[in-house]
Amino acid sequence: MKSIRRLFARLLLSALTGILSVPAASQTLAPASENRGQKMPVTTASPSAAQHFEAGMVNFENHRWNLALQDWREAVKLDPNFALAYAWICFDTSDPAEETIARNKARATMNSASAGEQLMIRWIIDVHENNYVEAIAAMNDLAAVYPGDKRVNFLVGYWLYRQDQYDLSRKFTQRALALDPAYATAYNQLGYLYSRSGDYDRALEALGKYVQLLPREPNPHDSYAEVLRLSGRYNEALEEYRTALRIDPTFYISQKELGETYSLMGDEERARVEYVKAVHDAPYSGVKAEYLQKLALTWVREKKFVQADKAYRDAADQAKAMQQWVWQARAYRLMAMYQPDSAIANQELDQAGQLLQSHKDDVDKVDFDEERARILRVRVERNLPASPKAPVSPAAQSALGELEKLTASGASVNIERTYHGASGAQLKAQQNYNLAIAHLEEDSINPLSMKLLVIAYRKTHAVAQAANMARTLMLWKIPSMEEVLTVQAFRAQETAVTAKK
């Protein structure tokens, strides 16, 4: 279960120091010392395809993901053997069918690409096939071979950020900026990294530089707004989102963020108005499916569960119509999380699991495995023993065993974290606080696990750790089902306790 973390440690050791361990398939690569000033090549027979590929990468860096996909699709039309373009379509698309086709095309054509490109392609493909050990090894070698390529450094940092490996991500992001101090997208990433540690002043400073470098792009204003929101400056955040939409009214991400902000402010009616527009403006079915479920969450925040059920079932039906199978199953899993009746929750989980299993061959393996892991975690949580001395329920024990098997296979960081959160929840219910802490600390960015950690720390007299985690949870402003079910009640509880002192 520690294989992924060991590989991240290896990444830090080798890629950041230039020590290279090249896999057997890529022995033609030169050592890092010979590539220090080189960029990773892009192999295509068509100069026009190369131009579209580069335009797509710039759009990707600017979070114009729909435009990036259009460019990469055009690139493979111009060069049907453009392996790297297929890989990036696989990385970016939300269409399960397109992802499968692009992944297979990338694999079939990658031998015509350069050795460096093959590493990047293998990294992307292995992530999507949930072969994280192989994926991280390929990424590790790519970063070590091209230490002087600012985009490689940025992309490695970007992916590490998405894995919540913030310290490693910062090192690669800063290396990208050392190579090019005007590399705008790296300031965006740096801002988010500072925000995750609660350093909002430095985050806004980095994002201010991002806005300065790209004043007519919408995403700098969107990112600046998000950190304003995280720091509790909601009205300023709303104005920055509106600025992004004035620059580009089609920038659907900021439209969605208006809904997020109003929801966190407690104005759920206005949030739903903004979400409806975001669903309408979303360019792809996967994004529409996601935003429909964000809209449904507003009813949970208001504790209007009948309306929430209706909204989630409607979202599931629309996901089915759009062939967004994971989102269809996810709607039922999310309903199971807030149901007051555990028997009904288990029925929703049955539905989620059956729907997911029926489309196992239609979606990314990593998406399938990660959603399956989340379903199993909720199964554990909804079947915890009623008292510390009560036996563990067969349903919870079975689900935890399946989760452990998923984790032992070298799966994604998200699956590892899900397993630890479920294990910690069960151990906490049994009042085995020390062991619970060891697991819950591996999932310490999930509000459900954070709340359990506060309790476990207090039970073991870890006063400083409890205070720090409680403070982080009180200030948590990242919308999710876990946040809705945890943060508001925790704030009220802590405020009541403080008032009595």
In this predicted model, what pLDDT tens digit does every residue of 40-86 receive, in sequence order? 999 999 999 999 999 999 999 999 999 999 999 999 999 999 999 99
Q: Which of 260, 283, 306 is the last residue in one of the domains? A: 283
Give a yes or no: residue 347 inside a domain.
Answer: no
Q: Is 232 found in the same domain as 138?
A: no
Q: Is 116 found in the same domain as 220?
A: no
Q: Is 168 found in the same domain as 29?
A: yes
- Residue 30: DSSP 8-state: P
Structure tokens at 377: 């975690």
Q: Is 158 found in the same domain as 269?
A: no
Give a yes or no: residue 149 inside a domain.
Answer: yes
Q: What is the CATH number for 198?
A: 1.25.40.10
* Structural domains counted in the chain: 2
Q: Which of 249, 283, 317 is the last residue in one of the domains? A: 283
Cα(429)–Cα(475) distance, integer angstroms? 25
Give a yes or no: residue 101 inside a domain.
Answer: yes
For 214, phi then psi, to 5°, come to: -130, 65
State residue 81's pLDDT score: 97
Q: Is 174 found in the same domain as 187?
A: no
Q: Is 253 found in the same domain as 114?
A: no
State residue 1's pLDDT score: 43
Q: Is 102 found in the same domain as 211?
A: no
**Can you list the alpha helix ranges (DSSP code H) found in 231-364?**
234-247, 252-265, 268-281, 285-301, 305-321, 325-338, 342-358
Q: Is 54 found in the same domain as 86?
A: yes
Give a yes or no: residue 387 inside a domain.
Answer: no
Write out the chain's pLDDT in tens, 501 residues: 444 555 565 555 555 555 333 333 333 444 444 455 689 999 999 999 999 999 999 999 999 999 999 999 999 999 999 999 999 999 999 999 999 999 999 999 999 999 999 999 999 999 999 888 899 999 999 999 999 999 999 999 999 999 888 999 999 999 999 999 999 999 999 999 999 999 999 999 999 999 999 999 999 999 999 999 999 999 999 999 999 999 999 999 999 999 999 999 999 999 999 999 999 999 999 999 999 999 999 999 999 999 999 999 999 999 999 999 999 999 999 999 999 999 999 999 999 999 999 999 999 899 999 999 999 999 999 999 888 888 889 999 999 999 999 987 677 889 999 999 999 999 999 999 999 999 999 999 999 999 999 999 999 999 999 999 999 999 999 999 999 999 999 999 998 888 776
Q: Is 211 found in the same domain as 89?
A: no
State residue 153's pLDDT score: 96
Q: Which of 134, 149, 179 is the last residue in one of the domains? A: 179
Three-state SS for 378-445 is HHHHCCCCCCCCCCCCHHHHHHHHHHHHHHHCCCCHHHHHHHHHHHHHHHHHCCCHHHHHHHHHHHCC
Give a yes or no: residue 355 inside a domain.
Answer: no
State residue 6's pLDDT score: 56
- Residue 480: DSSP 8-state: S
Q: What is the CATH number for 55?
A: 1.25.40
**Structural domain range at position 65:** 3-179
Is residue 491 within 8 A of residue 264, CB to CB? The reply is no
